[in-house]
Amino acid sequence: MKPEVDGSVVAACAVVKSFGPTPALRGASVAAGAGEIVAVMGPSGSGKSTLLHCLAGILIPEAGQVWYAGGRVDTLDESARSSLRRDRFGFVFQTGQLVPELTAEENVALPLLLAGTRRAKAIAEAREWFDRLGLDGLEQRRSSELSGGQAQRVAVARGMVAHPAVLFADEPTGSLDSLAGEQVMNLLTDAARAEGTTVILVTHDPRVAAYADREVIVRDGQVISPNRVSP
Amino acid sequence: MSVVPVTLLGLLERQPSHGYDLKRDYDTYFGRGKALPFGQVYATLARLARDGKAAAGEIEPGAGPERKRYAITPRGRAEVEAWLAEPVEPEPHLQTVLFAKVVLALMLGREADTYLDAQRAAHLQRMRELTAIRRNGGVVDALLADHAMFHLEADLRWIDVTNSRLSALAQVVRP
């Protein structure tokens, strides 16, 4: 039975996950439809990042189910989950995600190279994103030569370059000032909507969550669904 | 409905009271340094009685101000219930209303966290609308939207902090 899965691209159903004796998720359920941007909010330690990691097949829950495109994720072996993450999912994290030895364009091309795309083709596809995300002229820079906002835009390009079905973004503007964060969110959501990509956006910042179509609140390892009452 | 009448109704739901007791409790829990004039208390109670939301008992013997004990009616109770369930239109300077709703809900043993969750959802919906204005409008629109969003953010932070303090607050305001 997959109660929340029908019509959704990615879903977690009654997911339980602990770290040692500490419960992180206690029956959390959430689902996101095609092209939908869902903000996952909650206080520090509420379990929102753990929920993202379970949805993305990075962590395996102890109970409950994780679904992607009508198939179970949590029952796949590590190799199959790794392929799924590489081929169908994109990721943007808060900081420290660019490979410092690579140029910006090589960083963006990385998911394509790992998937076996020829280097010339991968670099060409990566360069298209430099124009889309206002990064022209930065292709040969290394991460240490980029501002925080530029580095996050490179990270967004890398997350989107393989045209993922789902982009997982965990506090993507957490290390940026408000204007740089705004620019990253504008570009990230524009790119996702243009591509029809579903976005799971973990954030504690209501200004970032306001870019989403809707929000869910994680509290004490469970997803709270407030009754929406029109003011 | 404005805050004072429904707050007095809520205090009456807690227990039937004289005007004097209502004023004292209002000033203690909701006045925040600004005492409610006796005249406003009795005028409000008279209107609530006229509208069938409260019922006045017989005048009791004794010196001093009017000695009628008021009790809430089913209609008044329904009004309190509806008011507590309804998120406020998100706009700046809501503190008085948000605060009154949380304290009254706790005082009456209702679920303040449910109200706070609904209010958070209403605020975030308004922030989505303002974000669309900021993205699609001109600089002046963006600046006005920014101002509103900063106030809503302050409310949201207050909502989150209050949510984590509900147990402690309940111990203070419950009789």
Given B83, B98, B123, the domain boundary residue is: B83
Element (H, E) at B75: helix B74-85
- The answer to whether residues A49 and A24 touch, using CB atoms and an 8 Å cutoff, is no
pLDDT of residue A229: 37
Give domain status of residue A1, yes or no: no
Find the domain containing B40 and state its range.
1-83
Structurally, how many domains does chain A consist of? 1
Is it the case that residue B175 has pLDDT exceeding 50?
yes
Collapse the DSSP code of B145 into the 3-class scheme (helix H, G, I; strand E, B; otherwise coil) and give the result. Answer: helix
Torsion of Cα atoms, A138 then A139 then A140 then A143, to 10°:
70
Q: Does residue B57 sit in the same domain as residue B118?
A: no
Residue B26 burial class via C-beta count within 10 angstroms: exposed 0-12, middle 13-18, buried 19 and up: buried
Give domain status of residue A186, yes or no: yes
CB pairs under 8 A between A and B: 52
Q: Does residue B76 sit in the same domain as residue B16?
A: yes
Closest B-chain CA to A207: B127
Q: Does residue B79 sit in the same domain as residue B142?
A: no
Structurally, how many domains does chain B consist of? 2
Give domain status of residue A196, yes or no: yes
Question: To the nearest whole angstrom, how far is the Cα of B130 from the nearest Cα of chain A?
Answer: 8
Q: Does residue B94 sit in the same domain as residue B172?
A: yes
Give domain status of residue A56, yes or no: yes
**Region B67-80: what's the mean pLDDT?**
94
Model confidence band, residue A192 (pLDDT cutoffs 50, 70, 90)? very high
Nearest to A192 by CA among A5, A16, A32, A15: A32
Cβ atoms within 10 Å, residue A80: 13
Residue that the structure tokens 């045209």 belong to: A163
Is it the case that residue A228 has pLDDT exceeding 90?
no
CA distance A81 to A53: 12
Q: Which residues of B touch A (CB under 8 A)?
A: 85-90, 114, 117-118, 120-125, 127-128, 130-131, 135, 149, 152-153, 156, 160, 164
CB contact under 8 A, A210 and B121: no
Give domain status of residue A5, yes or no: no
Model confidence band, residue B70 (pLDDT cutoffs 50, 70, 90)? very high
pLDDT of residue A1: 42
B118, B128, B160: residue with CB nearest A228: B118
Give domain status of residue A220, yes or no: yes
The 10s digit of each residue's pLDDT in A72-107 is: 999 999 999 999 999 999 999 987 689 999 999 999
Find the domain containing A80 and state its range.
10-224
Q: Does residue B6 sit in the same domain as residue B68?
A: yes
Q: Does residue B113 sit in the same domain as residue B143?
A: yes
- Lowest-pLDDT choice from A195-199, B60-64, B81-85, B87-91: B60-64
CB contact under 8 A, B124 and A210: yes
Whether the pTM exceeds 0.95: the reply is no
pLDDT of residue B7: 94
Residue B173 tokens read as: 């305001």
Nearest to B54 by CA among B79, B41, B71: B71
Q: Does residue B62 sit in the same domain as residue B92?
A: no
* Chain B hits for A228, Cβ within 8 Å: 118, 121-122, 125
Question: To the nearest whole angstrom, how far is the Cα of B78 from the nearest Cα of chain A?
Answer: 17
Bridge partner residues of A199 (DSSP): A37, A167
Q: Respond yes or no on whether ipTM tops 0.95.
A: no
Residue A178 sits in a domain of what CATH number? 3.40.50.300
Inter-axis angle of helices A119-132 and A148-160, nearest 10 = 130
The 10s digit of each residue's pLDDT in B117-149 is: 999 999 999 999 999 998 888 888 888 888 889
Given B56, B83, B110, the domain boundary residue is: B83
Q: Does residue B72 sit in the same domain as residue B99?
A: no
CA distance B91 to B83: 17
Residue B24 sits in a domain of what CATH number? 1.10.10.10
CB contact under 8 A, A210 and B156: no
Residue that the structure tokens 């940026």 belong to: A176
